[in-house]
Chains A and B, each alone.
Chain A
Amino acid sequence: MTSTPHPDELTAQRLAGLARGPVGGKDPDPVTGDGTLIDTPGVRAPLVLNDRSFGEITNIICGYTENPVPRWWYAAAAVTAGLAAMMTVFILYLIITGIGTWGLTNQVDWAWDITNFVFWIGIGHAGTLISAILCLLKQKWRTAVNRSAEAMTIFAVICAATFPGIHIGRQWMAWFLPPLPNANAIWPNFRSPLLWDVFAISTYGTVSLLFWYMGMIPDVATLRDRADRRLRLNPQSGGPLLPFLPIPVDLIRAKVYGFLSLGWRFSGRHWHRYEAAYLILAGISTPLVLSVHSIVSMDFATSILPGWHTTIFPPYFVAGAIFGGFAMVLLLLIPARELYPHMKDFITLRHLENMAKILTLTGLMVGFAYSMEFFIAYYGGNEFELYAFKNRATGPYWWAYWTMIGCNVLSPQVFWNKAMRTSPFVIFIVSILVTIGMWFERFVIIVTSLHRAFLPGEWHMFSPTAVDICIFVGSLGVFTHLFLLFMRFLPMFAMAELKAVLPIASPHHGPGHGSGGHQHGGGH
């Protein structure tokens, strides 16, 4: 023990490039897992493992975009690009032929398309929650997941916006969606929640994009500077872009990242403005998390259709959106941390456990809403309302209803057990179930209310066509492919924020300050 250097001395050597950092891969401790699962009140788990120094964090994270492309990435990108191409083909077919190619009927005139729309727009909410609300709540663990969750938000909004766009049937009239002055003096119906959706989602998309991009500027500037430095050492750095195109890859990196980083020079003034803007955007995004899905819920709740008209819809939809969104974040990050080197140092078991707890909480919230709906359907004394709910649970779509209950309310309950909520495998399985369950929730709300119209002569079952299925599966491909591109070309972690939550970033760090379990400083 006496020969072991002081940890600070070791850090100093590593910062100076005189010593190598740890490689990682310690045997998991039965109690604390990778060391982050400590549950003793008063002790904060480390947020970054293996005593990573600032330089190591930069090298590891920039390495994800600078190192040669891993083989699995090509395979995944090929599959998802194929699915995305399939979606394009089927959308073309849909536009050419008409939306009769979907399984819509005269009563069930909203089905998979709107289900998919609500499903995707909900997925995005986890990103905004992590980047905005968890920022305002000073949850430092968010720094490891916020960037990828925000990226996911953008991609989910892209997928979501596709569905109402193709549902209008006459795509050449799509410009009628925004209220533009036109020669026929035709205006959209301002009293319709569908129009509010246009505003809500375009605002949401814009603010999310700004938030994501602004947060990325310092990290993109780091990528730019690293490419630039390599170019100075070797003008051919990175090799030719393509065998017949002898432009060095690092030159392209320096130019593109240079353009994207908007002249960021890491000056104190830049950081000061950055922090102020970040806080303001977090403040603006917070009501957006609530408003967007509230307005989506009003697409249904402002109608007087049994099963749709219920006042708890706005907060219930928001809770459900966050629930489904966190499941998707976990679905993306659990494989990523296995596939990328050293990513487990940043996305620790504690991060997964925290997100599993949020899944349990939001799952219970939607369960609460389901039971309130059922209770009020009984208490309200409207026989059609009660029928709509009985029909959900016992009618021809009972399997969809019980899939929803099983996946959304029951499956996250396994997380009451600590071993379950800290096992990446179990979390992954539950996340798949939750994603399925949240898709079915929207399906249940939309289709079970529509398939039993007021006149029994109008009762229809809905069955999806190949076009329905292929467009939805294709949208999964678009989403995943965009995420793969993001992982390849943009910084997957907010490097500056990660560094700020390290113990060595604390002004109290070091001998004489009693660097205890708690950390402070950093953040915003």
Chain B
Amino acid sequence: MTTAPVHRPQLAADNITLAKGAGRGVGMALIVVGLLAALAVLGMGLSGAAGVTKKHALAVYHTGAMGVLAMALGGLFFTMVFHLTNAGWSATIRRQCENLASFLPFAWLLVLPALVIEIANHGLLFAWLNPAYYHDHALQVKSAFFYLPNHIVDHDTHKVATEPVLPVFFLARALVYGVVWTLLSRRLCALSRAQDASPSVELAAKARFTSSWGMLLFALTTAFASFDWLMSVDFKFFSTMWPVWYFSGAAFSAMALLVLVFARLKAVGKLEGVVTSEHFHDKGKILFSFTVFWAYISFSQYFLIWYGNIPEETAYYYFRTFEGSPWRTLGITLMIGHFIAPFLIVLFRPVKKSPLALGLVALWCLGMHFADIYFVLRPMVDAGTGLPPHIMGHLWVDLAAIVGLFAVLVGFLIVKIPGLSLVAHNDPWIDESLEHRNYV
């Protein structure tokens, strides 16, 4: 597949390739089992089996889907950043970012069932889909954003619709996100794959150019997807920081997952001298910086809303954090688990340089990433019921949906990774990456 030049013996084929079809069975099994688990949760919710409610099933499924979507978006983000900045050190890790980004179309497909069920059931978590809320002024002022060209209030008669209205604009945007993400991820992966066959700097230059306008599209689609699919779950809530928060989690979780991928590849004896402790050091630094960035963004959003103390904003946080709310504990757990603990641990250089230590932290971080999205969606199960928020049991349902969807992503990566060389071995920056040292 590849011939290693004399001066870079690390790129010998057996060091940077896995056997074709290696782990395929495990990967496919993970995909099937994961998908079945997640769909079973949805099915139980829809049929009401075992006392699982529709809203509950949908909230946990949506948590898993938005969580893996964030990781795939983070993979696309890092791919583009490395191209855009002419980064040298990252040449040996970019291929796995691309593999992660190539999950984007599937992540999009995983979100779709949640949206379809929402619309078919006229709003379970997304109360704005429910005709009972059409009279709400807070919904009417923003209804164009969801429903155009349809209207929930008739323009001439001012009569509020009593039948569910199809949210055309909302669906059209969902379609746009899917198209943009698919095109971007496929194009960048295709350019990289073509480079494996024929070393050409023009392909790298093309990828760099794609990343420039791609980054613009990425920012806009990620922002509005986060509004559409997460923030609008509480249609009265609004925050300009929201897309930045979702992005911070995307970059954070993607880097955590990449650390795990490389820790595993190192554990099976691959990438010797190609992805070294120096690369792990840098990945650790990125993980660290996005832990801090997430905390900065989450804190700023919370703090400004708390300080401003305007009812229409504080309701979102009050519901989750008032004394006695079961979600308060989760909020504090996020503070410690998503920020303080990883901050204090990854701060130390030996942790960053060790695949095992960093891998363990990364695993924890992935859990925290799902918990972060869970904190947004899961409390909404009780919203609008008039009941105080409570944890209704059936924690296994939550785990089945979230872990199931994560297993789909992991299975996809296991199947995908051996299909290509583990590194973009013809990347023009490969030499710089192979010689990468943080401190000399």
Contacts and interface: CB of A to CB of B under 8 A. Distances in A.
B240 interface: yes
- For chain A, give the interface size range: 35 or more
A41 B208 contact: yes
A312 B205 contact: no
Interface in B76-90: 86, 88
Contact of B219 (A368, A379, A381): A368
Interface stretch (A48-56, A301-309, A326-334): A301-309
Interface string B301-323: 10011011110100000000000
A381 B296 contact: no
Contacts of A375: 240
A39 B205 contact: yes
A311 B300 contact: yes
A130 B304 CA distance: 29
B80 to A, nearest CB: 12
Contact of B86 (A41, A372, A521): A41
Given A311-B304, A314-B300, A521-B440, A379 B312 contact: no
Nearest to A520: B435
Contacts of B212: 416
Given A41-B208, A302-B304, A312 B244 contact: yes
A42 B244 contact: no
A212 B23 CA distance: 54
A315 B137 contact: no
A482 to B, nearest CB: 32
Contacts of A376: 238-240
A309 B300 contact: no
Contact of B240 (A304, A310, A416, A514): A310
A312 B439 contact: no
Interface stretch (B262-270, B369-377, B425-433): B425-433
Contacts of B297: 315
Contact of B301 (A41, A298, A311, A524): A311
B216 interface: yes
B304 A309 contact: yes
Interface in A257-308: 287, 290, 294, 298, 301-304
Contacts of A304: 308-310
A136 B288 CA distance: 13
A136 B219 CA distance: 25
A40 B428 CA distance: 9
B142 A42 contact: no
B428 A41 contact: yes
A382 B300 CA distance: 21
B178 interface: no
A512 interface: no
A372 B141 contact: no
Interface in B96-118: none
Contact of A381 (B138, B243, B309): B138
A368 B247 CA distance: 14
A302 B307 contact: yes
A302 to B, nearest CB: 4
A311 B142 CA distance: 19
B201 interface: yes
B189 to A, nearest CB: 17
A369 B240 contact: yes
A368 B304 CA distance: 20
B18 interface: no
A369 B244 CA distance: 10
B241 interface: yes
Contacts of A287: 292
Contacts of A294: 296, 300
Interface string B122-142: 000000000000000110011
A372 B292 contact: no
Contacts of B300: 294, 311, 313-315
A6 interface: no
A364 interface: yes
Interface string A371-396: 01101101111100000000000000
A68 interface: no
5 contacts: A301-B304, A310-B240, A311-B241, A311-B305, A378-B142
Interface of B: 7, 86, 88, 137-138, 141-142, 145, 201, 204-205, 208, 212, 216, 219, 223, 227, 238-244, 285, 292, 296-297, 300-301, 304-305, 307-310, 312, 427-429, 431-432, 435, 437, 439-440
